[in-house]
Amino acid sequence: MYDAFLLLSFGGPEHPDEVLPFLHNVTRGRGVPPERLAEVAEHYLRFGGVSPINEQCRELVAAIRADFAANAVDLPVYWGNRNWRPMLADTLAQMRDHGIGHAVALATSAYGSYSSCRQYLQDIASARAAVGPRAPVVDKLRHFHDHPGFVEPFADAVAAALSTLDVTQHATTRLVFTAHSIPVSMAESSGPSGGRYEAQLRETARLVAERGAPGLSWDLVWQSRSGAPHIPWLEPDVNDHLEALAKEGVTQVVVSPIGFVSDHLEVLWDLDEEAAATARRLGLGFARAGTPGADPRFVAMVRDLVLERMAPPGDRTRAALGRLGHWDVCASNCCPPPVRSNREGTR
């Protein structure tokens, strides 16, 4: 049925001269003010104008290829991005030239919302149209927010981060999960019945907390908001939440970015720079837990999802793969575009 695997990701600049063109790609048609682009560009320039996400994708691609080879999954592995080289349309053209007809794809987002799910389906359709009649058909794999290969690396990272804090202050330590904020209208329209983005994130948070820090109180908050002030986005922001926790008597926090697959720039800037600075100002102990990246369990999860998709529908059972929660698929009515003005955000 399938003759290739495709990794779909967001993309990022790899040279200072690429930063603004990349941001223009991301925000095209959204009316983001130039001053906001300049502010975000400065974040990239603080890291040499290089986003770590592309190198992280290269590591993941290499690990998937090795895992496929070791487990007799006979699929070549390709990689294409939404916003920067390698662009998805270019990758599909290469796949066409290699004789690929039907690929299965994993997007580097575990959750269901317009920007993290449905938009990737639209990206695939647009790229196929650009390539032309012989463009490969591409089927996107389902959400994986509660798969053990996604949950367990987070849980171990939370436990490791917690071990770096003062054990005598455990009673006043809080586990804070973060994910990318999105417009409230987008959150409300995510999934066939609405609210899927938040519900999936809360389920992931619960699973990670139970395994990585049993008994520790936890919260789910948001980061990386970039929209116009008059448009409601999910709140509270992680920095505002740290302020509130300090007032409640919390003395230490472990911050786990469960909304992200790897430690890309939004994690490094919004958490390791801004949130860590907020914690220092408040006198809070701060430890940031890592993300799955190319963890072998996450890589094995990719193989699980591919084999699951390749199996006859009757064999796609939750028990066969040891899933932890709901059966979520990307259906035709999954994550429709929210009813809103699409004029906010840099992501």
Residue numbering of the annotated binding site for Fe-coproporphyrin III: 51, 120
- Spatial separation of the C-alpha atoms in residues 154 and 25, rounded to whole Å: 31
Closest-CA residue to 221 (of 237, 243, 210, 208): 237
Q: How many Å apart are CA 157 and CA 211, to the nearest integer?
A: 10
Q: Which residue has tokens 């400065």?
A: 42
CB 147 within 8 A of CB 292: no
Binding-site residue numbers are 51, 120, 180, 266
Residue with tokens 């560009």: 41
H/E stretch holding 47:
none
| Under 8 Å between Cβ of 7 and 233 | no
DSSP 231-282: S-B---BHHHHHHHHHHHT--EEEEE-TT-SS--HHHIIIIIIIIHHHHHHH
303 Cα distance to chain centroid: 18
Nearest to 4 by CA among 122, 117, 136: 136
Number of residues written out for the chain:
347
Own/partner contacts of 310-319, CB < 8 Å, gap of 24 or more, are 310/1, 310/2, 310/104
Nearest to 256 by CA among 211, 196, 325, 208: 208
How many Cα atoms occupy the beta-carbon half-sphere of 171 within 13 Å?
A: 1
Strands 102-107 and 4-9: parallel
- Cβ neighbours of residue 49 closer than 8 Å, sequence gap 6 or more: 13, 14, 15, 16, 17, 18, 19
Q: Which residues make up each annotated binding site for Fe(2+)? A: 180, 266
**CA of residue 40 relative to chain centroid, distance:** 19
* Token digits of residue 164: 């770096």
